[in-house]
Amino acid sequence: MNPKLKLTLTHYLNSTNSTSITFNVPTPHSNSVPFLKTKHFLRFLIRSFFSDFNETVSTRFLHVRHLGLFCLAQNGRARANGLLSYITAYKQQVCAPAVGQFTSKRALCTDKEDKMASMDERFAFIAEWYDANAALIRRYQFLFYTKDNTIEMFDIKNRRVFLKRSKCEGIELRDVFIGASVSIHSRQLKFVDYADDFTRKRLSTRKERTLAMVKPCSTDKVGHIIDMIFSDGLHITKAIMTKVSRAEAQEFYRMHEQKPFYDELVRYLTSGIVIPMELMGENAIQRWRQLAGPTDSAIARSEAPLSVRAKFGKDKQTNAVHGADSPENAERELNFFFAGAPKPNTATLVDCTCCVIKPHAVLAGHAGKIIVAIQEAGFTISALQMFNMDRANAEEFYEVYKGVVAEYTDMVTELISGPSIALEVTGKGGETPASFREFVGPADPEIARHLRPRTLRAIFGTDKIKNAVHCTDLPEDGVLETEYFFRILSQ
């Protein structure tokens, strides 16, 4: 039998007006009560408590609801005390509810509660959505719960729940980081900041960023290198195939100015195209240095035979890849390539076709293998850039399919669901578009697996929407589509 618990909850509307409510509620036993029942109990409590204050019920409900999560499985008294202390803390901020308020949860936790809270880790971000109809940027507090991969959102300006805690297909913690975009109920959200110190502390090392660069000698190995990066568990969050000028190379390697090999090094870096990439992951700086291997490719072959330089480097200088060596240099080098005016890409826009590695394939770690397959089939990748498409651009790009292909809307949603990699494919003269289309295979991977099992879509596609890559349909559109990415979007 559940004992009755008498709760006196005091709520201060503001400094001059306070209200106290006493009521009896059944108290679930801490350990015998299943999670949901406990949560329902707290919801009931909160609803009862706040039902008098209709004008701002949603805001209050929202703040106290977190309490329900951190008080989980506490005994009734502790829960009541927790609720009271929470409300006291809440009272102090009630006149100016702000983002930080949602984070007061941990400050109120006892040790025991703290342990419990960590079972249900919650990461908080600030996310923005561009509301095209209102021409406004809307800001949300976005919460991610690792225990069950659920999300919850609050509208910051209107101070209300925007999305109740719920599962969102396909979104995992790895997809949520500053700068990333995700699609939630057809809104494309961009994460612009952490919303609390806990998240900042926990994720800033887990989501460390570094600069990796494919050097001119090994751009034909970029597929293998990208594959090694994914296999190591690192994410590529930015990438562009570009060229550096002599002045830029001198600046990039300025710390080696006094070294005897400096001039040669600058000449090497400017001798062809390079592919700088932003990598992200736990200890990304050190991990990428380790994966790259020792500076001298010969030493790499003897001491780290599985490293990138062991596999693709030639000697001391011509060593396949670069990696930033400290957080300061990572920041400087990332800014060098990815801040300010966009670096020029290498698109030729002649006898080319456009290939886009779709977000699902990038997220699944197939991008490297897809690029390897394209290069091994005799095509040249003459431009490459990672994009986070927004809805307006995806709709524009797919416009020719609108009203023609039943999957149009889903295709747009897929294209904006994460990072994609656009490629300018060349190498077979005027035949390139038709030949590449053959190589990619039928739009439906199921059909491709039956009819053309060696095609890209047969190997890497899942279904008609997640069919691994987009490729230009009509040869005459090859240049147009390539231009869309490498002339229009890249600006």
DSSP structure class, residue 68: H
Among the residue ranges 145-153, 195-203, 312-320, 470-478, the one whose residues contact ligand ADP (CB under 6 A): 312-320
In degrees, to the nearest 5, what angle opens at C-alpha 99 toward C-alphas 93 and 105? 70
Question: Given candidates 2, 157, 261, 430, which one binds ligand ADP under the rule CB under 6 A?
Answer: 261
Pairing mode, strands 469-471 and 353-357: antiparallel
Going residue by residue from 264 to 303, which x/- string records binding to ligand ADP, judged by CB under 6 A?
A: -x-----------------------------x--------
- Closest distance to Mg ion from the beta carbon of 325 (Å): 5
* Cα 232 from Cα 249, distance rounded (Å): 28
Amino acid at 213: M
Choosing from 235, 322, 360, 366, the catalytic residue is 322
DSSP-assigned letters across all residues of 409-464: HHHHHHHTSS-EEEEEEESSGGGHHHHHHHHH--SSHHHHHHH-TTSHHHHH--SS
Torsion angle (degrees, nearest 10) of CA 289, 292, 297, 301: 110
Nearer to Mg ion, 210 or 417 (CB): 210
Number of other residues whose CB lies within 10 A of the CB of residue 391:
17
* Cα 356 from Cα 472, distance rounded (Å): 9
Nearer to ligand ADP, 147 or 259 (CB): 259
Going residue by residue from 323 to 352, which x/- string records binding to Mg ion, judged by CB under 5 A?
A: --x---------------------------
* Cα 381 from Cα 209, distance rounded (Å): 26
Check residue 317 for interaction with ligand ADP (CB under 6 A): yes
Check residue 400 for interaction with ligand ADP (CB under 6 A): no
Among the residue ranges 89-97, 120-128, 195-203, 318-326, the one whose residues contact ligand ADP (CB under 6 A): 318-326
Query: Is 322 in the active site?
Result: yes
Number of other residues whose CB lies within 10 A of the CB of residue 84:
16
* Cα 455 from Cα 437, distance rounded (Å): 10
Nearer to ligand ADP, 9 or 229 (CB): 229
> What contacts 24+ positions apart, CB below 8 Å, involve 34-38?
35/72, 35/73, 38/68, 38/72, 38/73
Nearest to 318 by CA among 296, 288, 302, 333: 296
* Cα 265 from Cα 267, distance rounded (Å): 5
Nearest to 269 by CA among 277, 261, 278, 258: 261
Question: Given candidates 47, 316, 402, 450, which one binds ligand ADP under the rule CB under 6 A?
Answer: 316
- Closest distance to Mg ion from the beta carbon of 309 (Å): 12
Question: Given candidates 199, 210, 242, 319, which one binds ligand ADP under the rule CB under 6 A?
Answer: 319
- Closest distance to ligand ADP from the beta carbon of 129 (Å): 40
Partner from Mg ion, ligand ADP, none binding residue 319, C-beta < 5-8 Å depending on class: ligand ADP
- Ordered alpha helix ranges (H), 270-389: 284-292, 297-303, 308-312, 327-338, 359-363, 367-376
- Closest distance to ligand ADP from the beta carbon of 338 (Å): 19
Q: How many residues bind ligand ADP (CB under 6 A)?
A: 9
Nearer to Mg ion, 325 or 396 (CB): 325
Nearer to Mg ion, 296 or 325 (CB): 325
- Closest distance to Mg ion from the beta carbon of 329 (Å): 8
Partner from Mg ion, ligand ADP, none binding residue 316, C-beta < 5-8 Å depending on class: ligand ADP
- Closest distance to ligand ADP from the beta carbon of 320 (Å): 9
- Closest distance to Mg ion from the beta carbon of 256 (Å): 8
Return residues touching Mg ion (CB under 5 A).
325
Question: Which active-site residues does the annotation give?
Answer: 322
Return residues touching ligand ADP (CB under 6 A).
256, 261, 265, 295, 316-317, 319, 322, 325
